[in-house]
Structure 1
Amino acid sequence: MMCVQLIYGQSTTTSSTSQTFIPKSYIGMRGGYLLKSKYANTNPMWYLKDGKFIELNFGTRGNNGVFGFGGALGYLNIARDASKWQSGTLNRKMIYDSITGGTHPIITSGLDDKSITFSKQNITDEYHKNFRGVYLLAGPEIWLGSKAFKVNAYLQAGISYNKVGYYYIAGNKTIADPATVILTGPFGAGTRNYIMKGDAVFEQFGMSNKYFSKIAMVGTPAAAFAIKEDGQLSFLAKAGVSAEYFVSPKISIHAGASYWYIAVPKMEGAQYASGQVSYFTNPGNVNTNNQLFDYQDPYKTKNLGYISANVGVKYWIGGSHKTKAPKTVRTKKTKCCSTCPVYALGVTARDKYTKEILPNTDVVIKNNAGEIIKTGKTNSFGVFVFEKIVAGDYTISGLLNNVALENSNIKESELICDQVIQKEIIYADRNFIVKGRAFECNSTTPISGINVVLENIDLAFKKSTMTDADGNFMLQLPEAGIFYLYGRKENFLSQTEEVTSDNYNRDKNLFVKLEICAEKVDCGKAINLKNILFDLDKYAIKAEAKKELNRLVRFMQDNPSVKVEVGSHTDCRNTDSYNQTLSENRAKASVDYVVSQGIASNRITGKGYGETQLLNKCADGVSCSEAEHSINRRTEMKVICPGK
């Protein structure tokens, strides 16, 4: 078959329509230095510093020698300031505000400290290009003065063919924050000091939307930024004033200043930082909780403004010349290939409500007979490119987490040789997607093959899935309700996370990022059961404690052959005998509750330890804070080793 592609464009030429005597015309050169713009230098979309330009000038003055018209054809280069992105801070407020899932502490001091920094040594990938442009400008001029010295003011506007350049960095940072935060909340009663530790990966970039879309189809940064950036037409204007000195009737030199207004194309830029942070008691260095964070800061921008210092020279010509009225000519170029047997189709998966791109979406194209022609999975930019597509009509469909996306169609007439035709498929489901990870508590070791359950007993809702080799999982989360997320696997005791859908807005968020941890249970190893709290001098099981004991019930249901001891511990306050009796009663109350949930009584025993197994220095006669005493008040479980 024959394929012919027609590309239309416009050009403007000037031809003579009348002849008028013009006393002076000139042609010259001008160059200069663009001073650093505070906005462009500090805006993370740009991080530009100073620049340079050189241009060819031309113009004429009228009969009165005051009013004239001039133009410029030039080249502009504005450098990027690498020092801006090679160092930065990740303060604790950014981390705290972007924590996902779990129960948050209430931090009352230390959030704004900027002690968590990253530098060039933390950067693993770095790419950048300067802002470059070729421009053509024209506009009116005013000439004032007499004899050898004159002042020239001008206003010019026109088009610029710009490659705005880019920068991109990625890296990682271990957070070992030496300062403390003061917080209250779910880790215990009262106010405590904590040290935040953890790991973070970060990514930061700024570039044109056109270039972003182009490299989004490429896998690695190295391959992506090996692709050349295309230029884009934009508006550019310049206003300036200069002092002109005529060395001779035909030669003048000048110096002055100009203001530049540079319209910029649609841009893409953002900073991302994600990872895990842990809270360690200070003093004590006890890890009390792990939290995921996912910080995102999309950048915004506006058009650029610069001031330049200029110098130049002009060569003057007297006499008459002809002026041609502007004439627009429509031109036509023909690009032809003798045969176009195959085409390319780029498919982007996107959420209908948040406009988020959707990585790891399964994509299928089918012919009119419903036969599957090709399949693929979108990359981290939400894109998959089907290559070597033969001519025809196709239906494009997608599937994300077993939910179908809205189909898209492409007609044979839309296919163009030597071009990747873009289409979108839309995810329109109103449910959230829990996108999470399961790992061993107090570590970063993922748990593969753990059955992750999301349920709401009142709504008779229960969904489950198995984690992959990296501990990752996805589950559908209804738009309203309170749900509980936990894991089930032999020899693991899982935490339970409460997820409230009303805390999220489906029009702003599709993914709810959560992590759950489970502790590896070895016989004889004591594991703390958190939130089993009793009223003073009491041993009745409270509602909050039942949630934690239900974790133990699930563990024993998942491991029907194990036998468990529940141990209760007190702090050192009050007498040894009193604390011993109180701990025995509390251990028995915990055992009775577990038995009431269907666990055989011969599989679980209770033991009171009183104050015999303190975790810190707070023994009789030692002055300690309430927070330090609370560490010793605890309920633990351990699997009884066979034969004991």
Structure 2
Amino acid sequence: MKSKQLLRICTLIIISIVSLLPAQAQQSKASFDTSLYPVGLSALYIGAQAGYLFSNKDIANDPAYYLTSGKFAELNLGWRAKNSWFGWQLNLGRLSIDRKLPSGQHGNTSLNGYDILQSSSPNWMWEKTTRDDRTFLFDQPTIDTASMTNFSSWYAMTGPQFWMGKKRLQASLSLNAGIGMTDYGYYFVQGHGTSMNTLQYDYYSKPNDQIAGPVDVAIEGNYNQYAMSKETFMASGSPTDFTSADLKSQSEINLMARGALGIEYFITPKVSVTANASYWYILAADLAGQQSFRGKLMYKGTWKEDFKPATPGEDPHLEPKTRTIIGVSELNYKRDFEKKNLGLLSASIGVKFWLGKRHKSRPIVKVIPAPVVTTKPIQNKDLLITVKDKPTGYALGSVTVTVFKDGQPFYTGITDVNGALPLIKDIPAGNYAIVGLLNGIKTTATELNSFDFKGEARVINCELLHNDPRFTLVGQTLNAKTDARIAHVKTTLNQNKGGENNFQVSDDNGEFRFQLQPNADYTVYAEQKGYFSNKEAVTTKGLDRSKTLYVDLRLALNELKQGAHFELKDIYYDFDKANIRTDAAIILDNVYRMLIDNPTISIELSSYTDSRGSDSYNMKLSQQRATSAVQYLVSKGISSTRLEARGYGETRPVNGCINGVPCSEDQHQANRRTEIKILKQ
């Protein structure tokens, strides 16, 4: 369907609706409730509009386009949020823009005089010429062939629409963008002849370095001018001679946008008419456009009275006898057109039909004064704050919670084991912000305002969530013999495989905490004068953070009293070997630190085996291993007088695994051990 037909249909629809306005207005006058607008509008609408595109002088005079005025018609589909100023629309339509060459259907071809002079050969006589807008013209009798088609596009655009105002008459703003299937059209003019006018220029005699006088200039030859999309140009075989060219205009997908300001008048809650002013912005396709001329440039004039050649005979275009200037130059001129995007203003009218149930008029209701209800005033409240771990939902203790009032600190407290702060009593109404902090990570924040202080409830409950992906190691430093807690003990956490050491001192209850990364291995040990702690292994591998928050550890400290003895854990030797392995050296380094921190004690370092193997062999091997351990400590700088190595073989089992008794591997492992005994305190 052509755009003219669409325009006629839309115009007929609008005229039909407008013709019904008096009757419709009379019919709905009594029942029309203006308070329904915009509140009572149905959500969906369908409509149509048609409009006129005004000519843009820059595009109309640009030889790349020569596009003037146009028209468009479209179908409108849209939605408007109830009780709102916001909506969305979809527009489907067709537009066309007329193409008009200057001075008539096939127009006069014009060539810029200055550009022509500079394209001649030779052209030194025009070196002093300045650019102006004068042109050489070729009228219609010189045209050999010419043709043109208009610009047209089927388009779809969508975007938001905003309404302003109330009741029947409202203003609107819409912003749309979309795509078009666009035929940019084309034109070409080709001919030959002599320009219908002459232009006068000053002739510069370069050999004499002065202006000789004015000359009248005309041009004669073949000219060619065309413009079209590059797709059309290529599809038509890239013609240079249009007398026999078969142009095949091509349609291309392009982007376009439109902004519109309008007014909308609601005839009834179901029908409205619109008037809009719009600005269109259409992205242009790649352009194939050119103006060319091949022929000769002819000029003739008379010397100025005061002109005297300094070098007579050097300028071949000067005739001394007749004091005339005459000459002919070859001319080969070519100018490529540049593309530009199209910007056009339009005006349009339209109609919309609003879908959905019609709102009934509001009945007149007699207003009966309501009984006076006394509203309880805003009052002071108590505030209960709790903190939970977000992944598990467990209550979180030791969280520092700060309450801000009007941006200033109002209260600070630490949650107990149940994740709660003490009840904050009788706080006045106001604006509050509440946030917690644990292990360098903040909880969620909560805000209170005067609205929260209304109502009957005395207590305002506030729950904060803490989201830390790490696990929490909760440890206790204990006496290995009595199980009593030991306070203020330095503890060290080391992440295996190159992790840095972290330190904590246990609190008054002998408790300490570390944060553990998921899927990681750690060792933990304590350092306290007069005590020794084995290194304990801790791992988070295999733990699910959504189910587990805390990892518990009882870190036992052995008191360094004369006669005390305890096992040195995780000292391992290779089979039938006594040399100190790398992992065993790490454990012995812990013994080294104990001896440095307690310089007055002397120890016996003893080694034991299981019952497998001969008694003599086990005795010898255990002595060698104890000696290797002592020698390692001596190499670190501990005096040998403080150390004694003893191998006991299989003579002191910690269970009943002796010769001839079948035992499990775990039972044998318990007997393969290294112990420390305090010889002197």
Q: TM-score band, normalised by the shorter chain? A: 0.3 to 0.5
Give the TM-score normalised by structure 1.
Answer: 0.43
Structure with more of its chain in strand, by fraction: 1
Which protein has the larger Cα radius of gyration, Structure 1 or Structure 2?
2
Give the TM-score normalised by structure 2.
Answer: 0.41
